């Protein structure tokens, strides 16, 4: 089984292009923080290259920007290439699904949520902290 699940932030603007046959392709760079600290007390970060295809690529190119938080489900793919006669390998992640985890941009933060471009708007409910001392568990 070849399956990868990552959550992180885009390190650069998405690069939307298409193949010679017209298939949409989007390349993304993502930074993922490790969930532990090193001996110096710092969190280390891993960087991954992600490729999305077809409709998923078009959505990523349209709605994502540098710094956007995303969740990616995909698989690993190894490729080889040469630089100045030196053979190198790289591992890419081919996206099967990309979840947009950053809030929608535009408007004041937390004020309203626009519904599919119409003029109907709903108030966003702000969550209040609860007193958990009365919970039975």
CA distance 86 to 91: 17
Is 128 within a domain?
A: no
pLDDT band with cut points at 50, 70 and 90 for residue 108? very low
Is 81 within a domain?
A: yes
Task: Provide the CB-side half-sphere exposure for 56 (13 A, CA).
Answer: 16
pTM: 0.70
Is 10 within a domain?
A: yes
Residue 50 sits in a domain whose CATH number is 2.40.50.140
Please give the tally of structural domains in the chain: 1
Q: In the prediction, which pLDDT does 118 show?
A: 38
Domain boundaries, position 28: 4-103
Give the pLDDT confidence of 37-90 residue by residue, as tens digits: 889 989 999 999 999 999 999 999 999 999 999 999 999 999 999 999 999 999
Longest dimension (CA), the chain: 68
Is 25 within a domain?
A: yes
What is 54-115 written as a DSSP string? HHHHHHHHHH--TT-EEEEEEEEEEEEEEETTEEEEEEEEEEEEEEE-SPPPSSSTTTEEE-
CA distance 42 to 106: 34
Is 124 within a domain?
A: no
CA neighbor of 70 nearest in space, from 99, 97, 94: 99
């Amino acid at each position: 089984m070849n399956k990868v699940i990552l959550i992180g932030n885009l390190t650069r603007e998405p690069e939307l292009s298409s193949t010679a046959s017209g298939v949409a392709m989007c390349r993304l760079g993502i930074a993922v923080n490790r969930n532990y600290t090193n001996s110096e007390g710092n969190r280390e970060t891993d960087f991954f290259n992600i490729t999305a295809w077809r409709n998923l690529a078009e959505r990523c190119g349209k709605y994502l920007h540098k710094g956007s938080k995303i969740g990616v489900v995909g698989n690993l793919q190894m490729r080889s290439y040469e630089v100045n006669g030196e053979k190198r390998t790289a591992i890419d992640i081919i996206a099967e699904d990309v979840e947009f985890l950053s809030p929608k941009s535009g408007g004041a933060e937390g004020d309203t949520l626009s519904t599919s471009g119409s003029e109907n708007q709903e108030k966003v409910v702000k969550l209040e902290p609860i007193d958990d001392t009365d919970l039975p568990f």
